[in-house]
Amino acid sequence: MHLTATTQFGLEELLADELYALGADITHVGSRAVEFIGDQRLLYETVLWSRLSMRLLCPLAGFYAPDERALYREVGRIDWSEYIGPGQTFAITAVVNKSTFEHSLFVAQLMKDAIVDQFRDRTGSRPDVDTRHPDIRLHLRMLENEVIISRDAAGDSLHRRGYRQATNDAPLNEVLAAGLVLLAGWDGKRPLIDPMCGSATILTEAGLIAQRIAPGLFHQGKFGFENWADFDADLWQQVRAEAEAQRLEEPQAYLAGSDIDPKVIDQAAQNITAAGLEDCIRLSVRDVKDAAAPAAEGPGLVVTNPPYGERIGEEAEMATFYKTIGDALKTNFQGYEAYVLTGNLDAAKTIGLKATRRIPLFNGPIDCRLLKYELYRGSRRAPASGNLTPSPGSYT
């Protein structure tokens, strides 16, 4: 079957690699989406194992719709009894770009009317719409009036893992958190530190990677494909059992996080426990200026998402705060690589280190950069002669 996995901007190539490792035949890597071919087992495994997919869509029809009449007519030509069974509810998610239709809600309503009218004409009754917990979630994408209609295999966004029990004011999306860890090139073995961990989403996603835990195992309720007519319950149970058998119980890496707010650390501990990683991740209450690398663990990574300072009048406060981050990295994490996701590039200049990579990403609607810093011991520059040695604490 042809499938499309959607993701966040900047994670497309990583998603393609992830799907390829699962056995997918990749056909196209686009903006925020990867198209591929696979069988029913791969569909189940993708929903269960993908750390970078937001949605997994199974296209069922495509057509051109220049106006309302054409859209209604083409939707009505699909035999919806093949996809919505007796007594099942449905919902429609619509995304419209560069089309004569201006509003996605209007497009979704028109598609709903065509489906309902078909059932009413053929059977005398109609399926109900349930926007919160539908049995069948349909997805309409319209780009320049070219329409693709798909079934949503997950039924809900896959970033909602199910382990998150409590959050702070600005929780990091789980897919983006996993993406940060993978963009940093983490091998699942080196130490990974988040000195501003918040609700510990980065650390939790790293822990799931290290311990070979499928994120879909935490999902609450049914996935969308479990309500499809061709659902294979035996195959699904087999795929789940195989995933559960891969979990590693012994901690595979040193993972640690800290935050200045004790209440936030309590929330982080709840999330980590819900993910079954309480023996794998260390937490502490600590100001970022006091964060330090573990002496006995060897060089590792810092991956963190500090506040951006979005309220008016916070410019000076943020500049000072980011300077503190830079001072802590320089002094306490020599030999490490640091990856800092920020939506405040002006404040990031006060970190005082030269970024060797600047990866464009979005945190929700916020245009961000993932900045990589190489925290060398001493100076990166070669000494002028063989008799000179670099002075400790010197950075370029």
Check pLDDT > 60 for residue 200: yes
pLDDT at 315: 84
For 247-306, what is each residue's pLDDT tens digit?
A: 999 999 999 999 999 999 999 999 999 999 999 999 999 999 999 999 878 899 999 999
For 161-185, what is each residue's pLDDT tens digit?
A: 989 887 766 679 999 999 999 999 9
Q: What is the pTM of this model?
A: 0.91
In words, the CATH class of domain 174-217+242-375 is: alpha beta
pLDDT at 166: 75
Q: How many residues does the chain have?
A: 396
For 317-358, what is each residue's pLDDT tens digit?
A: 999 999 999 999 999 999 999 999 999 999 999 999 999 999
Check pLDDT > 80 for residue 383: no
Contact call for residues 348 and 322 (beta carbons, < 8 A): yes
Tell me if residue 77 falls in helix, strand or coil. coil
**Among residues 4, 53, 10, which one has the least CA distance to residue 31?**
10
| Cα torsion angle, 61, 65, 67, 73, sign | negative
Beta strand 366-374 pairing with 337-342? antiparallel
* CATH 3.30.2130.30 boundaries in the chain: 2-152
Residue 135's Cβ-count burial label (10 Å; 0-12, 13-18, 19+) is: buried
Check pLDDT > 70 for residue 393: no
Distance (Å, whole) CA 381 – CA 166: 46
Check pLDDT > 90 for residue 215: yes
Distance (Å, whole) CA 47 – CA 5: 10
* CATH 3.40.50.150 boundaries in the chain: 174-217+242-375
Distance (Å, whole) CA 209 – CA 247: 10
Beta strand 55-64 pairing with 2-6? antiparallel
Distance (Å, whole) CA 348 – CA 302: 16
Mean pLDDT (whole number) for 15-37: 97
The CATH architecture annotation of domain 2-152 reads 2-Layer Sandwich (3.30)
